[in-house]
A and B are shown apart, each in its own frame.
Chain A
């Protein structure tokens, strides 16, 4: 009952999208092929403004901006695409081209240690996927319990009992990982610098000492916010404050 209801909802959602989004996407692609990049970007943006998106949409929009030599919007849209699909090769490839145009070269400091290894592992799946894995374990628990409960041979019974315990732990662990991932995800707030150049200062006020000057297209991680300032961390570990208006958050 519930599933079918969900499907109806899904169909109801998707229906206008197919009617509205797809033709616009094709139209924009055509404009892009005709090298009318400005118009293409406009049409892609139109789809986005209707609260609809896809990896390819962001990718194509990024390409349009790259062709228009607009560094920050190009990088912004590629990063947007990578948020949905972190390992898309085409997006990564073109992002490199766009990053070539940026002025800053911020080398990401490699993180090492156990916590990093754990993070690498947990980030293999999105937290929604981890939630589904937890449900899978939950069903396995049921199966193992049935085995344990209805089979009378003592060795098998023991084996099933052990399995059930294992699956319970697996489910609990998956949920924990999902919560951890969700947390990580919420704390990961990347943003792209849109101002031509902006000073990262030591304190959130005008006239504070400049720690570093960053330029258009550079990726920063937002940590805190105060008034019209963001506390940010660069990929090389530098921390400081910058004006909110100079960056655009990816989330």
Chain B
């Protein structure tokens, strides 16, 4: 008996040990239509050929989730394997989940069918703990813009504030979507210390924390929009449960918040009164141009600083460039910036340092530089002009090329200075009226030009006439001797009234004629000699006779004045004879 009992015990033990369990379990037996249920098929021994039930009226929304666990406790090995499925009912009512089957050690096992009651869709899902605060409604991300209608280049600040209900804990936040500020110059101000303050938001008490600070300078006028900032929040939501010690239990959830698009209307700067040199500076500035010295010697350099300091969009405009005479050699500037950005915008200074080397002796003017900006306080343009800078190079070469410069250095030792100085005024002058008429093509020009040329035809005409006269030989000679005879007889003719005097003059005239023509002296004049000489000279004998008779007549009248003779006749005869003699005498 005792032995039988022992065997029975052993058998039972064996049975219980070797018993294969294959069960189906539902997480809940009553669910709403809109809820899920998890069904789990588990076995304590490994098997093959697992077959699912049909799952009519259900939809598998998850699974299979397989789980295998083996444990050995006190030498006793236990094994568990399960298949889990999340199911969603497709209709209401009492639904049955059919049996699943598996073969273990050659034997097929089946699960019991399970019933499930599906009710109407429930309002609240199957939360076991009720959250006291709905996270989506109690957390807000807001972009707070300091000025929604700024001027172009007027700084605005955007504060991204997270509002959350008291009691809600924020474990962590990460920006998922960081806006790119197109059309803006932006500067992110790092916030390291997040401080929570109490604030009213939409009439309710909230805690707020600034998560991001941005300074923006609009670069375009018109309607601009800021892209939204989106954040993922890890929240600690208080529940209505209390833990063992009576403290409230928090659950963690994730929430997504976004600011939405923020519109900004950027005003353009007024065109009215915009200075020509305006380069886009907006703010309040001071402008200075200075040099470290104004008088230099050869080889020395000058440093010139162009500085703009103040508040405004310092990063966003260039410094005005100085214009210097070409004879000043100016090198590219060294730029320096000291700009800090705070919530109120940029402030500080920027400067260009130029190095200038004058080339030649003389004075150089650096024209005043002007810098214009738009003053936000007075909403008007302002221009600052720097002072004119006069640079004097005391010594050094003068310009006009290198040759002169070099010769001044090397060659002219005797007086190098004299060549290279600015010359003093002239003390003497000859001031003339401005309007001096052109000599070219003036009347006197033509007169002087043609005067000598006019002489030429005159000369030609004169000579022609002379030649004509020369050409008529007989006539010319007659005219010439006639003239001669008349000259000789001029006195005689004058005294034609007085017979006595007439013949005296006639005789003298005839003697003079002979004297001039035949070179016979008066003392030698006798009729014989005269006729001899005349014959010698090949005069015509009749003419000689006439001549002699004239002389005789003159003598006769002298000694016998009463003798009748014709004065007129003798005069004509004398003229004729002298003319003929003139012709005949060679």
Asked whether any CB of chain B lies closer than 8 Å to the CB of A38, the reply is: no
Asked whether any CB of chain A lies closer than 8 Å to the CB of B398, the reply is: yes
Question: Of B362, B433, B439, which contacts A51 at CB under 8 A?
Answer: B433
Beta-carbon contact of A54 and B445 below 8 Å: no
Beta-carbon contact of B455 and A142 below 8 Å: yes
Asked whether any CB of chain B lies closer than 8 Å to the CB of A55, the reply is: yes
One of A101-109, A154-162, A225-233 contacting the partner: A101-109
Beta-carbon contact of A60 and B433 below 8 Å: no
Asked whether any CB of chain A lies closer than 8 Å to the CB of B29, the reply is: no
Interchain nearest-CB distance for B440 vs A (Å):
4
Beta-carbon contact of B431 and A54 below 8 Å: yes
Q: Kindly identify, within residues 205 to 224 of chain A, every residue whose CB is under 8 Å from any CB belonging to chain B.
A: 215
In the assembled complex, which residues on chain B have CB atoms less than 8 Å from the CB atom of A51?
Answer: 433-435
One of A113-121, A132-140, A242-250 contacting the partner: A132-140
Q: Kindly identify, within residues 185 to 202 of chain A, every residue whose CB is under 8 Å from any CB belonging to chain B.
A: 196-197
Q: Kindly identify, within residues 117 to 152 of chain A, every residue whose CB is under 8 Å from any CB belonging to chain B.
A: 127-128, 130-132, 134-135, 138-139, 141-142, 145-146, 149
Beta-carbon contact of B452 and A141 below 8 Å: yes
Whole-angstrom distance between the alpha carbons of A149 and B460 in the complex? 8
Beta-carbon contact of B423 and A100 below 8 Å: no
Whole-angstrom distance between the alpha carbons of A6 and B459 in the complex? 29
Asked whether any CB of chain A lies closer than 8 Å to the CB of B81, the reply is: no
Beta-carbon contact of B427 and A29 below 8 Å: yes
Size of A's binding interface in residues, CB under 8 A: 59
Closest to B390 in A: A69
Asked whether any CB of chain A lies closer than 8 Å to the CB of B323, the reply is: yes
Closest to B360 in A: A100
Question: Of B363, B365, B428, B439, which contacts A128 at CB under 8 A?
Answer: B439
Asked whether any CB of chain A lies closer than 8 Å to the CB of B497, the reply is: no
Closest to B431 in A: A21
Interface hub of A25, A103, A179, A215 (most chain B Cβ within 10 A): A103
Whole-angstrom distance between the alpha carbons of A128 and B450 in the complex? 17
In the assembled complex, which residues on chain B have CB atoms less than 8 Å from the CB atom of A197?
Answer: 323
Beta-carbon contact of A101 and B398 below 8 Å: no
Whole-angstrom distance between the alpha carbons of A21 and B428 in the complex? 12
Asked whether any CB of chain A lies closer than 8 Å to the CB of B399, the reply is: yes
Given known A138-B453, A142-B453, contact A101–B362 (CB-CB < 8 A): yes
Interchain nearest-CB distance for A133 vs B (Å):
11
Given known A32-B425, A97-B422, A128-B438, contact A102–B400 (CB-CB < 8 A): no
Beta-carbon contact of B445 and A215 below 8 Å: no
Beta-carbon contact of A182 and B438 below 8 Å: yes
Interchain nearest-CB distance for B165 vs A (Å):
62
Beta-carbon contact of B325 and A52 below 8 Å: no
Interface flags for A33-54 (1: CB within 8 Å of B; 0: not) read 0000000000000010001111
Interchain nearest-CB distance for A81 vs B (Å):
10
Given known A71-B365, A99-B399, A142-B452, contact A2–B444 (CB-CB < 8 A): yes
Asked whether any CB of chain B lies closer than 8 Å to the CB of A93, the reply is: yes
Question: Of A21, A60, A145, A196, which contacts B426 at CB under 8 A?
Answer: A60
Whole-angstrom distance between the alpha carbons of A179 and B445 in the complex? 13
Whole-angstrom distance between the alpha carbons of A90 and B426 in the complex? 9
Beta-carbon contact of A52 and B423 below 8 Å: no
Beta-carbon contact of B463 and A149 below 8 Å: yes
Closest to B439 in A: A128
Beta-carbon contact of A103 and B323 below 8 Å: yes
Q: Kindly identify, within residues 432 to 471 of chain B, every residue whose CB is under 8 Å from any CB belonging to chain A.
A: 432-435, 438-441, 444-445, 447-453, 455-456, 459-460, 463
Asked whether any CB of chain A lies closer than 8 Å to the CB of B324, the reply is: yes
Closest to B453 in A: A138
Beta-carbon contact of B439 and A132 below 8 Å: yes
Asked whether any CB of chain B lies closer than 8 Å to the CB of A66, the reply is: yes
Closest to B401 in A: A96
In the assembled complex, which residues on chain B have CB atoms less than 8 Å from the CB atom of A142?
Answer: 452-453, 455-456
Question: Of B326, B452, B453, which contacts A102 at CB under 8 A?
Answer: B326
Asked whether any CB of chain B lies closer than 8 Å to the CB of A75, the reply is: no
In the assembled complex, which residues on chain A have CB atoms less than 8 Å from the CB atom of B361?
Answer: 97
Asked whether any CB of chain A lies closer than 8 Å to the CB of B74, the reply is: no
Asked whether any CB of chain A lies closer than 8 Å to the CB of B429, the reply is: yes
Given known A51-B434, A52-B434, A135-B449, contact A101–B429 (CB-CB < 8 A): no
Extra inter-chain contacts (16) besides given A63-B424, A101-B362, CB under 8 Å = A21-B431, A22-B429, A22-B431, A29-B427, A32-B425, A51-B434, A64-B425, A97-B363, A100-B364, A103-B325, A105-B326, A128-B439, A131-B441, A131-B445, A145-B456, A146-B459
> Could you tell me which A residues sit within 8 Å of B by CB distance?
2, 6, 13-14, 17-18, 21-22, 25, 29, 32, 47, 51-57, 59-60, 63-64, 66, 69, 71, 90, 93-94, 96-97, 99-105, 127-128, 130-132, 134-135, 138-139, 141-142, 145-146, 149, 171, 178-179, 182, 196-197, 215
A/B interface sample: 23 pairs, CB < 8 A: A2-B447, A21-B431, A25-B431, A53-B432, A55-B426, A63-B424, A63-B425, A69-B363, A94-B422, A97-B361, A97-B363, A97-B399, A100-B327, A100-B363, A100-B399, A101-B327, A101-B363, A103-B325, A105-B326, A142-B452, A142-B456, A149-B460, A197-B323
